[in-house]
Amino acid sequence: MIVKRMFVTLYYIRCLSIAIVYRTGRRYDSLRKNKLLKPVLKWVGGKRQLVDEIEKRLPKGGLYVEPFVGGGAILLNRQPQLARINDFNDELINVYKVIKDNPDKLLSVLKIHEKKNEEQGSEWYYEVRSRDREPEFKNMNDVDRAARIIYLNKTCFNGMFRVNSAGQLNVPYGRYKHPNIVNEIGIRALSNYLNESKIEIMCGDFADALIGLPKDAIVYLDPPYMPINETSSFTGYTQGGFGYDEQVRLRDECVKLREAGIFFLESNSDCPEIRDLYDGFKIETVSAKRSINSRGDRRGAVKEVLISG
């Protein structure tokens, strides 16, 4: 109840701020950001470590577009009032939609998961994980699906979302002492943001999110990275992965954006294949810390590139 009252108060403050902007003509972007807005999910390739490097390269503009939104670190740091977000992972996009439309029901189901996890630990985890192997899974309602993904994300090994060739989650239990399964403040903050802003939520191919963009659009691309060797990179976010042909298709879309005069910034691996694909584009090298890897000796600083037209 206290949390709900706090968010009601924040909502009215937000409405007052918008009214002030309308009366004074100030840009909404200049208002103070909501510090409660953080990624709800830990996502492979998340950009929390590179937020400042990316943000300083993204100009102010109109429509903000993320065709590979993932955990949404850049979106939630930037907090645009007009945006289009997309991901091919339908379970991930369902989480965003449920947080927007049904936060109360979602939190209620997460509290059940939290209690079951405290009582049964890995036994409950593997029972929940196995549900996508059952015929009834396709009939699971959206709230239960979203709660399942959040619960598994908070309790699986190293927060890794990975599926096998059949599209089934296959990450082992993480054995955390106190996983943050019911992040009520974070979920309510994200729900408020998605409802107060004009955020179009799409689920599909990245190229679909780039159709019909205005010239002042700002596009940030964070695709599954090109593997730099046979084992060091990960593209198992969705059934089928994201291979070299997809990287070529993404490059072709970047060419179209450049020709249309639309600004884009892309993150990817610093490897010869990517540098060859983007020959003629602006390529900058940055260092990022990666904490999601099945092997501890492969976590740490890695070189990445930021590509723009």
Helices (H) and strands (E) in the chain, counts: 10, 7
Per DSSP (E only), the strands in the chain are 64-66, 82-87, 198-203, 218-221, 263-269, 282-290, 300-308
Per the annotation, does 124 bind a ligand?
A: no
Residue 198 is labelled as binding a ligand? no
Count how many Cα atoms sit within 13 Å of the Cα of residue 171 in the half-sphere of its side chain.
22
Q: Is 280 left (phi over 0), alpha (psi -120 to 50) or beta?
A: left
Distance of CA 133 to the CA centre of its chain: 25
CB contact set of 31 (below 8 Å; sequence gap of 6+):
17, 21
What is the signed CA dihedral for 129, 236, 98, 187, rounded to 10 degrees? 90
What's the CA gap between 174 and 291, in Å, rounded? Answer: 14
Q: Report the distance separating Cα 88 and Cα 250, nearest Å.
A: 14
CA 239 from centre of chain: 17
Nearest residue to 102 (alpha-carbon basis) of 142, 152, 137: 142
Q: Is 222 annotated as a binding residue?
A: yes
**Residues 166/239, Cβ–Cβ less than 8 Å:** yes
Judge whether 245 is annotated as a binding position.
no
- Best CA proximity match to 223, nearest among 253, 190, 259, 191: 253
Output the known binding site for S-adenosyl-L-methionine. Answer: 43, 47, 87, 222
Q: Which residues are annotated as a binding site?
A: 43, 47, 87, 222
